[in-house]
Amino acid sequence: MTTSFSEPCAEWIFSFPLVLSSLTNTSTFQNTTQEQVRNCPDTIMVPISSGLFLLGYSTLIVASIVGLIWKRNSGHIRARTVSGMIFTIISSFLFVLGIQIRYVIGRAVYPCILYSIFFVVMPPCVAMPTILRLLRFYAQFQVSKMKSQQLTHLDQLSDQTMRGELSTTENNNSDLVSPRDNSMKNMNQRQQSTQISSPSMSVKCTSRTSNNFMQQYKLGFKERIWYRMNDLLSRHTYIMMFLIAILGVHVVLWFCITVIENSFFAEDRFFMTNDSMSLFGCGAQYFPSVLALFIYCGFFCIECLCAVLLLVRTDSDTWYIKKEALCLIPIQVLLGSLFLVTEFVEIFRILDHIVPSGTIMTTYTGIEIFVTIFLPICYAIYQDEKPKSEVYDTEMEMILNNKQAFESFLDHCRRSFCAEGLLFYKDLEKYKQCSSSTQRRDMALHIVQCYLVQGAPQELNIGNIETLREEILFVIHTNNHTVNKLPDHLFDRVKSVALSNLIDAYERLKRQNPNIKKLSNDWKEHQSYHTRNTLQPIPQSLTYEI
């Protein structure tokens, strides 16, 4: 990374074995050790230290990739999103490989075109993973917060509102943002059409609309933005397109600078010492370092704004994502400041020919991979290997039906970004409480469209969701609702999977919350006593104090 300007080449440098590729004439350096020379030669320690760093870094990358493939379905990985982790790995790998290979093969022979591009792509490669991580966490927080607020609204619905018919609309030609949002169309109409589609079924029905109920489900413009942002930041395609676009913009910037230099400053270059598009080695002037610093400062300001936003507007999550993201920023500041010192202080420019200063910033990216990818994989392995206590559905339902315990569980699920399971359970309870067959049918359609449609904001994490949705729709639309009510067990399979998905969050809550742990132990004692004596029923609700 050292820029190419006149500097004293200390005599003790030549006491080390030198890299021959860094010398055009070894005797020339040996005869001018007391004079100002263009560049000191690299010692053999440069390729050795860089090679060892690459070996350790490559081992970390391979272990992280294998771990991602192995534990991709773990809660720790899903909460951080595989696409976000892949973005971090690619950005880090491009940065580390670009700078460390130059030290390994020799600065004098490293292609100038790659070296010059490095100055403009380095800032986004270092800063963008952290920025996206902070933005993704904030979007997840907002979406989870809206889901928990939605649960509160559900509990506040009056009996009169619940007697109103539930209706949702799905138009094939519309841009579906939320299954609940489209039903706000034609709110003044007493009758409206409801359509739910599956791969082999499209059925319409007619029902009345309850304005008060639907207002609880309406997503405003701001909410739709957060849902959309969370979706975009979690998809592999969009993340990769974003990475390519960011790097493309900076490569275009490099190309413009290179063309200007070659066209107007060929005799007095300001960017590199030789042609920036050359395949031969070259040095750098002051301008590339200043440009890279300027770009990096811009990205770092965005990082700081996102960090302040997280500190002020969000709670701590149960996956440690916020702590990871925030602890990396002071590390980045410390190593970045140290790197700047090595670039502009003379003694460190000489030491650069023993241990390259660029290793400082590559060390940061290695720390980032370790903290944000490797450690979460270790968390997932530890969590999966721990013996899991058996959690019966009745125990989970006991927690869900205990108001104070439910509030604690809801807050925990909100910070774990998995509140949709609780939303489904509450809607299922509403479904079972519907008194008329028409109300139950409409509530069933509402549940299907809110939780069993791919891409819905409240979509449940269920395998073969399309097949399951089609089976439920078949039962709904072949049932004569004017004569028979839909059965209570219609969503039992969905309920079983939803509660199973909540077990991990429940187990972590028991470890963190002694009151929940005590409530669980009391329930098990009552269950054991009832099993042995069969003298008294299991209590409907156990005492729970916060």
303-355 pLDDT, tens digit per residue, is: 999 888 888 888 888 888 888 988 999 999 999 899 888 877 888 888 888 88
Measured in degrees and rounded to the nearest 5, phi and psi for residue 354 equal -115, -55
H runs (alpha helix) in 314-402 = 321-344, 346-351, 358-369, 375-385, 393-401
Look at 169-173, 328-332, 513-517 and tell me which has the smallest mean pLDDT.
Answer: 169-173
Contact between 353 and 346 under an 8 Å Cβ cutoff? The reply is no
pLDDT over 70 (residue 62): yes
Same fold, 7-142+280-381 and 167-209+389-533: no
Q: Indicate the class that CATH gives domain 7-142+280-381.
A: mainly alpha
Written as six digits, the tokens of 459 are 């979509």
Give the model confidence (pLDDT) of 133-147 as tens digits.
Answer: 999 999 888 888 887
Quick count: other Cβ atoms within 10 Å of Cβ 269? 16
SS3 of 422, please? Answer: helix
Distance between CA atoms of 242 and 254, rounded to whole angstroms?
Answer: 19
**Percent of the chain at pLDDT exceeding 90:** 23
More confident residue, 56 or 11: 56
Contact between 165 and 189 under an 8 Å Cβ cutoff? The reply is no
Distance between CA atoms of 251 and 519, rounded to whole angstroms?
Answer: 59
Contact between 75 and 45 under an 8 Å Cβ cutoff? The reply is no
Distance between CA atoms of 243 and 232, rounded to whole angstroms?
Answer: 13
Written as six digits, the tokens of 196 are 């739910």
Look at 108-122, 179-193, 412-426 and tell me which has the smallest mean pLDDT.
Answer: 179-193
- pLDDT value for 61: 96
- pLDDT value for 183: 37
Distance between CA atoms of 272 and 258, rounded to whole angstroms?
Answer: 9
* Domain residue limits, the chain: 7-142+280-381, 167-209+389-533
- pLDDT value for 208: 39
Give the model confidence (pLDDT) of 354-386 as tens digits.
Answer: 889 889 989 999 999 999 999 999 999 988 776
167-209+389-533 under CATH 1.10.167.10, yes or no: yes
Distance between CA atoms of 70 and 62, rounded to whole angstroms?
Answer: 12
Give residue 66's pLDDT band: very low, low, confident or very high (50, 70, 90).
very high
